[in-house]
């Protein structure tokens, strides 16, 4: 009876809201998080509108519905990473007995690769539009700005204007790449342009944090250099981050450390002269590249929302929210990359969006748990992790109160082609006492994301080293290396295995 009363109350509230406002919910942003929130809200009976509009990049790149992940992020990046791995596999195949005539002359067709990637993206754009229509979510291809907390002025793609109202509004606009404030910055592209680039990138400079792009570009046969201002993979375990960089260098990616660009000039032969300075020694240098790509961070898309009109608090181009994703304006919420201090990961935005919709329209009280979120860096030799870095664990628990188990390993599939196993490595950071609860797991090796996903669930469930060591591994796999961990850093013993089968 109580449940029935709650459901009736929710329906009455929704009806009342629909009478006063045009919608129960307006979602501003058609990326993964916003779409997930909109779809879940409809499941619970809400009337929903979703706004989405993409401003072209300075180089004219634009895309359809689906947000960063689908169009210029996770999806095209993983596809190009896969293309790179397939090229490497051609050479491995010969060692396994495959006869590949003129293998040394096989090269990728950049134009064909880009077209294939874009065809897939456009198919996802279309399916997404159809899905919104089928779920009766009104899609508004326009730019939204607040007139008041419940009213949004929409500047449509066709230049018409429309005013819409809702009881609740969710901001899920995400972010876009930053450009440096230096002369000639306009000559550089970003990840928003790379995956639709018409001409092969050639000799490419990636400035700061674009390791994944540098990795697949090198794997596709292009000269790739990464210019790093400070540290590699800020926020990640630094031992693992440095091993990722060293592994990439082994694959042929070049690094210029402790350096920042000062200017970019276009030359007479259509290359770009980049002048740069070492931040420690002040030594200056320059070099020419066919493509310069900025990967210096992202900024939240706040400028068009007119948030000052509703008194919204902002912090570093992002929106602070409480545990329920609520802003300081009570009926306005934010999810995904636009929120301050949250992991900028697609699955995080999706899950947060769904849970928010359930709380708003489905009588749920479940909050998003942002702890122990797994992630992967799709470098040539992939890195995945879940939980705390060794540095963070030591800072929070004290070095004397943690134990770090580690080991190198040899993937079976690397043996015959004699691929380097120098950086194949796993690490578990755990409490030192009791059953040794696992605080973090780190893996560097093939198919890292596939390996760490299952362990992420185990860590969420309170995995301990006692349980891990008593788990029988699947042999021969790389994932089993976590179950074989028994050497600690504290012991000083050699973590290099003598055999793969004992």
pLDDT in tens, 398-428: 999 999 999 999 999 999 999 999 999 999 9
Average of per-residue pLDDT across 80-84 = 98
- E strands along 279-369, which residues? 284-289, 291-295, 298-300, 332-334
**Shared fold status for 20-68+113-177+299-362 and 180-295:** yes
Pairing label, strands 298-300, 291-295: unpaired
pLDDT band at 254 (very low <50, low <70, confident <90, very high): very high
Quick one: which of 502, 446, 359, 473 has its CA closest to 37?
359
Return the structure tokens found at 300: 């939240």
Six token digits for residue 152: 């949004």
Q: Which of 128, 159, 153 is nearest to 64 (CA)?
A: 128
* Domain edges within the chain: 20-68+113-177+299-362, 180-295, 374-486
* 297 has binding-site annotation: yes
Active-site residue, from 44, 81, 442, 475: 475
Question: b/e map of 258-289 (b: 16 or more CB within 10 Å)?
Answer: ebbbbebeeeeeebbbbbbeeeeeeeeeeeeb
Show the CA angle centred on residue 306, arms to residues 300 and 309, nearest 5°.
Answer: 130
The H-or-E segment that residue 396 falls in is helix 390-397
Kindly state which CATH superfamily the domain 180-295 is placed in: FAD/NAD(P)-binding domain (3.50.50.60)
Q: Is 362 annotated as a binding residue?
A: no
pLDDT at 18: 53
Map 105-154 to HEC letters. HCCCCHHHHHHHHHHHHHHHHHHHHHHHHHCCCEEECEEEEEEECCEEEE
* Rounded Cα gap, residues 317 and 109, in angstroms: 39
**Thinking of the domain 20-68+113-177+299-362, which architecture would CATH place it in?**
3-Layer(bba) Sandwich (3.50)
Buried/exposed code over 301-321 (b: 16+ C-beta within 10 A; e: otherwise): bbeebebeebebebeebbbbb
Query: CATH topology for 374-486?
Result: Enolase-like; domain 1 (3.30.390)
| pLDDT tens digit sequence for 130-153 | 999 999 999 999 999 999 999 999
Q: Which residues contact 47 (CB under 8 A, 6 or more apart)?
A: 14, 18, 22, 23, 24, 25
Is 181 labelled as part of a ligand binding site? no
Residues in the chain: 502
Place of tokens 């949250």: 342
454 known member of a binding site: no
Let me know if 475 is a catalytic residue: yes
Mean pLDDT of all residues in the chain? 95
Q: Comparing C-alpha atoms, which of 79, 296, 88, 74 is closest to residue 205? A: 296
Given pLDDT bands bounded at 50, 70 and 90, which one contains residue 502? low
């Amino acid at each position: 009876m109580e449940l029935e009363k709650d459901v009736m109350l929710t329906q009455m509230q929704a009806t009342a809201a629909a009478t006063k406002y045009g919608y129960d919910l307006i979602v501003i942003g058609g990326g993964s998080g916003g779409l997930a929130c909109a779809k879940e809200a409809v499941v619970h009976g809400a009337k929903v509108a979703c706004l989405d509009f993409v401003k072209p990049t300075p180089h004219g790149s634009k895309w359809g519905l689906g947000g960063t992940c689908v169009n210029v992020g996770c999806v095209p990046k993983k596809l190009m990473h896969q293309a790179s791995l397939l090229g490497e596999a051609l050479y491995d195949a010969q060692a396994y007995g495959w006869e590949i005539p003129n293998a040394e002359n096989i090269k990728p067709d950049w134009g064909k690769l880009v077209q294939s990637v874009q065809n897939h993206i456009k198919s996802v754009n279309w399916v997404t539009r159809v899905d919104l229509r089928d779920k009766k979510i009104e899609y508004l291809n326009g730019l939204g700005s607040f007139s008041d907390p419940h009213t949004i002025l929409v500047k449509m793609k066709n230049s018409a204007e429309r005013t819409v109202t809702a009881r609740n509004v969710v901001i899920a606009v995400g972010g876009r790449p930053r450009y440096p404030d230096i002369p000639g910055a306009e000559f550089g592209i970003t990840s928003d342009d790379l995956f639709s680039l018409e001409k092969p990138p050639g000799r490419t400079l990636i400035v700061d944090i674009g390791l994944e792009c540098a990795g697949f570009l090198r794997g596709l046969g292009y000269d790739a250099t990464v210019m790093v201002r400070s540290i590699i993979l800020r926020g990640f375990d630094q031992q693992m981050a440095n091993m990722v960089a060293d592994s990439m260098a082994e694959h042929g990616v070049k690094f210029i450390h402790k350096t920042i660009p000062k200017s970019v000039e276009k030359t007479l032969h259509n290359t770009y002269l980049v002048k740069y300075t070492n931040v420690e020694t002040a030594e200056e240098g320059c070099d020419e590249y066919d493509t310069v790509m900025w990967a210096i961070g992202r900024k939240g898309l706040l400028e068009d929302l007119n948030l000052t009109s509703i008194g919204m608090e902002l912090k570093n181009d992002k929106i602070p929210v409480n545990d329920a994703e609520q802003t300081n304006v009570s009926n306005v919420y934010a999810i995904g990359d636009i929120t301050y201090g949250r992991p900028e990961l697609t699955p995080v935005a999706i899950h947060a969006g769904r849970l928010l919709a359930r709380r708003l329209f489905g009588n749920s009280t479940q909050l998003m748990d942002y702890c122990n979120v797994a992630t992967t860096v799709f470098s040539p030799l992939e890195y995945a992790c879940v939980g705390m870095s060794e540095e963070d664990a030591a800072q929070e628990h004290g070095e004397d109160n943690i134990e770090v188990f580690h080991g190198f390993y040899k993937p079976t599939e690397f043996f015959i082609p004699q691929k380097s196993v120098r950086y194949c490595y796993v690490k578990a950071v755990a409490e030192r006492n009791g059953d040794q609860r696992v605080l973090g797991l780190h893996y560097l090796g093939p198919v890292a994301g596939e390996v760490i996903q299952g362990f992420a669930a185990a860590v969420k469930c309170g995995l301990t080293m006692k349980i891990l060591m008593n788990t029988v591994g699947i042999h021969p796999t790389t994932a089993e290396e976590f179950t074989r961990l028994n050497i600690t850093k504290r012991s000083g013993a050699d973590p290099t295995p003598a055999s793969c089968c004992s």
